[in-house]
């Protein structure tokens, strides 16, 4: 079983790359963004709560995110592996994920961070916001707030996974195919 955590700042290309990786490795793609949007669209209690935070550009609290993620893993018990996109975002989420996977006799195989400069990511997000309808992609100050949240809460995960010898970085700059090949090289070396 291969379990990959794909992370990087908003706009780094996690969702785009996850689409290729899930097909190549037959993984179940669990995107917290997709889980949030599904729950918001269906007006679940978790969705209403998540929306109140997302609309401000804030991260959704761990308890809500973890509950959504655990339910999704439990629905896919016969999976060959999982590709976690946008989760974990904090050390406490990483610890909760490790504990949950351990209880289910699984573990994270690798954490791969897509890296790109802020100005490139802001441009990508504003462009995506024109067609996605996502409120948090249409306002530069909200994007900058999301980067601040990432730097304060998610960036420390590099050390957490590096201490487990499970952390890798990949440049998120270049064509989609080039970036995919960089990711495949890392995964195939595991």
pLDDT recorded at residue 151: 92
What pLDDT digit, counting tens, does each position of 49-96 carry? 988 988 888 877 888 888 889 888 988 989 999 999 878 988 889 999
- Summarize the confidence of residues 12-27 as an average pLDDT: 94
Residue 101 confidence class, pLDDT cut points 50, 70, 90 = very high
pLDDT recorded at residue 65: 87
- Contact indicator for 118, 9 with CB cutoff of 8 Å: yes
Full DSSP string of 23-40: HHHTPEEEEHHHHHHHHH
Q: Is 8 left (phi over 0), alpha (psi -120 to 50) or beta?
A: left
Q: Tell me what the pLDDT averaged over the chain comes to.
A: 92
pLDDT recorded at residue 125: 95
pTM of the entire predicted model: 0.84
CA distances from 166 to 6, 16, 85, 160 (A): 12, 22, 16, 9
Residue 72: other Cβ atoms inside 10 A: 19
- Domains assigned to the chain: 2-188 (3.40.50.300)
| pLDDT above 70: percentage of residues in the chain | 100
- Summarize the confidence of residues 124-140 as an average pLDDT: 90
Residue 122: other Cβ atoms inside 10 A: 17
- Summarize the confidence of residues 31-52 as an average pLDDT: 88
- Helix (H, G, I), strand (E, B), or coil: what is residue 113? strand
pLDDT recorded at residue 96: 93
Residues 6 or more apart whose CB falls under 8 angstroms from that of 171 comprise 114, 115, 116, 179, 182
Residue 46: other Cβ atoms inside 10 A: 20
């Amino acid at each position: 079983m291969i379990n990959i955590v794909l992370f990087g700042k908003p706009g780094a290309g996690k969702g785009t790359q996850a689409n290729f990786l899930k097909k190549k490795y037959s993984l179940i793609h669990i995107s917290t963004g997709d889980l949030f949007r599904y729950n918001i669209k269906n007006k679940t209690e978790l969705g209403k709560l998540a929306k109140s935070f997302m609309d401000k550009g804030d991260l959704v609290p761990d308890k809500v995110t973890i509950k959504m993620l655990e339910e999704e893993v439990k629905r896919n018990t016969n999976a060959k592996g999982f590709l976690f996109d946008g989760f974990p975002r904090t050390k406490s989420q990483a610890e909760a994920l490790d504990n949950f996977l351990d209880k289910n006799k699984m573990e994270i195989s690798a954490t791969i961070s897509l890296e790109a400069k802020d100005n490139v990511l802001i441009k990508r997000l504003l462009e995506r916001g024109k067609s996605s309808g996502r409120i948090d992609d249409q306002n530069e100050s909200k994007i900058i707030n999301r980067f601040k949240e990432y730097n304060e809460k998610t960036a420390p995960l590099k050390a957490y996974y590096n201490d487990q010898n499970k952390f890798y970085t990949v440049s998120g700059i270049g064509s989609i195919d080039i970036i995919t090949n960089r990711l495949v090289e890392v995964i195939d070396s595991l």
